[in-house]
A and B are shown apart, each in its own frame.
Chain A
Amino acid sequence: MINLKEPQVSSVCKKMLTGITGLSLVMFLVAHLIGNLTLFAGPDVFNAYAQFLHHFMHGMFIRIAEVGLLGFFALHIWSALSVQRSKKKARPAGYEVNAYAGGASKKSIHSLYMAVSGITILVFIIIHLINFKYADHDVVGTMTMENGIEVTNVYKLVVLTFQGNFGLVLLYMVAMGFLCSHLLHGIWSAIQSLGLTRPSTIPYLNLVGMAIAVALAVGFLLLPLLIFMMRGTFDPDAVPEYGTHARLMLAPWMLG
């Protein structure tokens, strides 16, 4: 059993904690991206999705998810920063010449500057929450769905936020660049930290991790970029035609 008399957390435990929380946050990103992409299916589906998220399990789901995410972020940041601190202590006098050994090494600017990319992502998340979660939702008003439910028109909120706002789109592009950099090393590193690799699988897991990193960053950028560039396609005042998906998500049994 774990010896509670010694409060010092083992370096292996810290790595595992960083890995588990990191992979959980990646899974959240995948879910978030799928949710985002429903915007391309039309305002009805996107608004229905938002409504579903906020009312699923009588609104308990979103609250549990938010508390969970906050906890995961806190643990991830704590354990990762504690690894960073150990780094400075473990080599008080550095080298005059620093080089990359190449070959099997995976050392890169991505792996060396995880703390920088991580902190940048944290700052971005705060801006992102101000942009959407804590934005004035009354401005965009509500939309009445086919079955009579009044939903917040988050479609309009998203389209208005990005349309004609080049500065914000640029900020999102930079942020996704940092996210990509963080995950290029992060995903594979989390798998290695959890002890899930073997000599034969390391090169593949490294590639898969990098592919997921690029896919996530590009996927998230699709929304602001397309809304910004294809002004005619995304109308903030679009009157939705209800489709099957929206109906399904707003079905009473789904909203619990």
Chain B
Amino acid sequence: MKVNLKIWRQAGPDAPGKLVDYSVENIDPSQSFLEMLDTLNEQLVKSGQEPVAFESDCREGICGNCGLVINGVAHGAKGGCTTCEIRMRQYNDGDTITVEPFRARAFPLIKDLVVNRTAFDRIMSKGGYVAMNAGSAQDANLQPIHQDLAEAAMDAASCIGCGACVAACPNASASLFVGAKVSQYTWLPQGQVERSTRALKMVKQMDSEGFGDCSNHAECEAVCPKEISIANISRMRREFSKALFAR
């Protein structure tokens, strides 16, 4: 199959950018979207042009490194999967596909489709940890935890920090990411030590990074590769109010 691409090209953070037209032929429908971009880059390199810069690492939906806005939807229109998990069979022969980077002031563009997502790391450094020694693997089994709580904590902890929630949010808010990261500790005993300050510190860092405020559009949940519920944002707000009055 053949697809026409409109890809955002921008040489550097301050350089002007624009959508550039490309076309890729002889695509196998079972190829992934990123493999199709690899094919394009091979074509570009062979013809002496600058390849398109994009990020990827594991290419199996667990590392959170890849992330493109495809036809206006973060990670492409499939839901519950990362960009690397998109297969070309979801497109028709001759389709035109627009590929753009994640857009947010807090995610400054580095080059083409690559953005700097270290804002998430700075939020994590404010409370996304437990300061106590949680022991090694076998120690976890000494503390009886109800299966439902473990599952709930895991649902939130499955966030891979890809930033699609920010990219999809009409306000560029990081509430789903912070909501998931605050929530994952609330159900488990190890998370109780910093509980009274965690939400306050992480929300404060989120605000100072320049993310927008949440308007409850829930677009983030729809594009989240791990299908993390916006109920975690609700929980973050509860934790925030508790922490506000607990101190």
Chain A residues with CB under 8 Å of B231's CB are 197-199, 202
User: Are the C-beta atoms of A97 and B106 separated by less than 8 Å?
Assistant: no
Residue B233 is within 8 A (CB to CB) of chain A in the complex: yes
User: Are the C-beta atoms of A104 and B218 separated by less than 8 Å?
Assistant: yes
Mask of B196-229 contacts with A, CB within 8 angstroms, 1/0: 0000000110110011111111110111000101
Assuming the A-B contacts A95-B72, A195-B234, are A10 and B218 also in contact, with contact meaning beta carbons closer than 8 angstroms in the complex?
no
User: Are the C-beta atoms of A199 and B215 separated by less than 8 Å?
Assistant: no
Assuming the A-B contacts A10-B240, A83-B171, are A197 and B234 also in contact, with contact meaning beta carbons closer than 8 angstroms in the complex?
yes
User: Are the C-beta atoms of B217 and A89 separated by less than 8 Å?
Assistant: no
User: Are the C-beta atoms of B98 and A104 separated by less than 8 Å?
Assistant: no
Assuming the A-B contacts A90-B171, A90-B173, A98-B72, are A12 and B240 also in contact, with contact meaning beta carbons closer than 8 angstroms in the complex?
yes
| Cα A203 to Cα B115 with chains together (Å) | 34
For residue A9, give the distance in angstroms from its CB to the closest CB of chain B: 9
Mask of B230-247 contacts with A, CB within 8 angstroms, 1/0: 110111111011001001
Residue A247 is within 8 A (CB to CB) of chain B in the complex: no
The count of residues in chain A whose C-beta lies closer than 8 Å to any C-beta of chain B is 47
Q: Which residue, A12, A87, A92, A94, has most C-beta atoms of chain B within 10 A?
A: A12
Chain B residues with CB under 8 Å of A100's CB are 219
User: Are the C-beta atoms of A11 and B219 separated by less than 8 Å?
Assistant: no
User: Are the C-beta atoms of B230 and A90 separated by less than 8 Å?
Assistant: no
User: Are the C-beta atoms of A107 and B219 separated by less than 8 Å?
Assistant: yes
User: Are the C-beta atoms of A86 and B212 separated by less than 8 Å?
Assistant: yes
Q: Is the interface of B mostly helix, strand, loop or mixed?
A: mixed
User: Are the C-beta atoms of B222 and A87 separated by less than 8 Å?
Assistant: no
User: B residues engaging A (CB < 8 A)?
Assistant: 6, 8, 19, 69, 71-74, 77, 79, 98, 100, 103-106, 168, 170-173, 175, 203-204, 206-207, 210-219, 221-223, 227, 229-231, 233-238, 240-241, 244, 247
Residue A99 is within 8 A (CB to CB) of chain B in the complex: yes
Q: Is the interface of A mostly helix, strand, loop or mixed?
A: loop
Stretch at the interface among A30-38, A152-160, A173-181, A185-193: A185-193
User: Are the C-beta atoms of B206 and A11 separated by less than 8 Å?
Assistant: yes
For residue B244, give the distance in angstroms from its CB to the closest CB of chain A: 7
For residue A96, give the distance in angstroms from its CB to the closest CB of chain B: 6
Cβ contact of A90, chosen from B172, B217, B229, cutoff 8 A:
B172
| Cα A195 to Cα B244 with chains together (Å) | 14
User: Are the C-beta atoms of A101 and B73 separated by less than 8 Å?
Assistant: yes
Chain A residues with CB under 8 Å of B238's CB are 195
